[in-house]
């Protein structure tokens, strides 16, 4: 089980989960921060994106804040990054400092630019949510 820092953006126009370079997550949910709806949406979005059950994702701190600490039933931060589709992490396998996530150049993104395609890893693995252009 790992604990991850999460920055939540309630009321977003579309849902997204992004791995930030420092090992934290940036989660955008459409639900507003009213009566715990955004928290429920965060748990649901993370569980779906990581291929886990909702009970395997728990908010442990920050229930009324945008900065949260979330426990996820995964073995390591490297597993978290792998499930989010991040490229080679280097030192980020420990959850500490790496240029991974939205905007970080990777061999895959360079190939995608050459072919004119781009897949935004911040979105769910569901093909309906993959973008055809820059994020």
Give the tens place of pLDDT for each residue, 71-111.
999 999 999 999 998 754 443 434 333 333 333 333 343 44
The ranges assigned to domains in the chain are: 2-85+97-117
Which DSSP letter does residue 110 get?
A: H
CATH class given for the domain over 2-85+97-117: alpha beta
CB proximity list for 117: less than 8 A, separation 6 or greater:
132
3-state secondary structure labels for all residues of 71-101: EECCCCHHHHHHHCCCCCCHHHHHCCCCCCC
Q: What is the pTM of this model?
A: 0.64
- Percentage with pLDDT > 90 across the chain: 59
Give the tens place of pLDDT for each residue, 39-51.
999 999 999 999 9
Tokens of 15: 């849902």
């Amino acid at each position: 089980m790992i604990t991850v820092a999460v920055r939540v953006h309630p009321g977003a126009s579309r849902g997204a989960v992004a791995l930030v370079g420092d090992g934290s997550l940036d989660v955008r949910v459409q639900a507003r921060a009213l009566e715990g709806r955004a928290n429920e949406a965060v748990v649901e979005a993370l569980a779906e994106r990581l291929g886990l059950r909702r009970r395997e994702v728990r908010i442990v701190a920050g229930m009324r804040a945008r900065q949260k600490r979330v426990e996820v039933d995964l073995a390591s931060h490297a597993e978290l990054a792998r499930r989010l589709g991040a490229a080679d992490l280097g030192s980020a396998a420990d959850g500490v400092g790496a240029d991974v996530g939205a905007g970080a150049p990777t061999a895959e993104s360079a190939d995608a630019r050459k072919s004119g395609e781009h897949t935004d890893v911040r979105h769910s693995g569901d093909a309906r949510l993959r973008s055809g252009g820059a994020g």
